[in-house]
Amino acid sequence: MAMAVAFSSIQTFPSLFSNQTLRFQPLRRRLPLFLASSSSSSTTEFNISFGTATSPRPSKTLVPDASPPDPSSASLPIIPWIVRDENGNLTIQSSPPARFLQSMAETKTSSSNSKKKKKIDNSKSKEKNTPPTPVASTAPKYSKAARRFYNQNIKESQVQRLSKVLAAAGVASRRSSEELIFEGKVTVNGSVCTSPQTRVDISKDSIYVNGSRLSKKLPPKLYFALNKPKGYICSSGDESKSVISLFDELWKGWNKIHPRIPKPRLFTVGRLDVATTGLIIVTNDGEFAQTLAHPSSELSKEYIATVDGTVHRRHLIAISEGTEIEGIKCVPDSVELLPVQPDASRPRLRIVVHEGRNHEVRELVKNAGLQLYSLKRIRIGGFRLPSDLGLGKYVELKPADIRLLQGNSRKSA
């Protein structure tokens, strides 16, 4: 009976069910209230009215979200956004407004830029606090080759002794250049210079020798391995039988290949007597030649000595014991009897020395009681004479060959 009264009372408000937005489920939850109130009196009427504001307000409409529903987010609560539309009316929507998203993006961009700026400022401050790396102002105290490389490629000032500059420019040897300076045949910046120790810079100073101006450019450093023939002398003069005359072909096209660069003055590193053949180094680098030829380097040199007669054990023992040359006892590093070749009837000896004194190998063979027929040098240091290099021919050395020349000494062994 109470249920009937409740429904009869609800029927008095047809407008309540005319609104399709209301659902029956919330109404069922309120039924106990209706039942409780109807139990007290069967004639109770519900006077439900909605209060109205004193001033009219714009109606609120729900704007549906145009994005497709996400099944995974169906259980998540929807946060409404109350915004004002173009007409000034308040509306409710489920997504943030566009201007809010734009302002958030601008804020994020500005914050990231500020962080980058702070990182850059911090790095700059660290760089300012870091002390500068010291630059070496003096030549490194290493080997002569390292100091020479430093002076030629790194050192700004190319100030050198006048006699050394003249020799490097190909004017004459170091001693002959000093004689020219003493004789007053050299002028520096318009004044006669008589001191070989005068420091000059060929790129800045004006130098004249016998009235001819010295070129501002020095010739390049050249290194050759020559297979010296018999009958040629190791001289840098104008003799026709000088080993330097074997390089005449090199100078014919020099001016075309190297315009305005003077011809280098070549000379031999050490000497071979007129009757000895084989390997000899020819260059225009004075320091390199001095390092290679100086006895302190103790570079090993290998010779093939062809002798007349028969070689016995006592001969080999006599050679290995050494001999006195110019008051100094010279002992070879090794002595070996080579196998007999089919096309050669004379025995051959391989003799390795490091002193490099004048006629050393010849004196060793002579002191042993043997008669020397021919002598040929085939190795200096770690560089061996190419087997296909004919007599009187030369080949330009590569950096690896130069290292071989300097890298096989008796000290390192």
Of 17-31, 284-298, 359-373, give the range with the top mean pLDDT: 359-373
In the chain, where are the structural domains located?
1-37, 158-213
Q: How far is residue 331's CA from residue 102's CA, in Å, rounded to a whole number?
A: 95
pTM of the model: 0.57
The catalytic position among 273, 285, 308, 343 is 273
* 255-289 pLDDT tens trace: 788 887 888 889 899 889 999 999 999 998 888 88
CATH number of 158-213: 3.10.290.10
Straight-line distance from the first to the last Cα atom of the chain, in angstroms, rounded to the nearest whole number: 126
Q: How far is residue 309's CA from residue 186's CA, in Å, rounded to a whole number?
A: 58
Active site (annotated) includes residue 343: no
Q: Mean pLDDT, the chain, as a whole number? A: 76
* 59-114 pLDDT tens trace: 444 445 455 555 444 444 556 777 777 777 777 777 777 777 777 787 777 777 77
Could you give the angle at the alpha carbon of 270 between the alpha carbons of 266 and 272, nearest 5°? 105
DSSP SS3 for 64: coil
* 366-377 pLDDT tens trace: 999 999 999 999
- The answer to whether 243 touches 394, Cβ cutoff 8 Å, is no
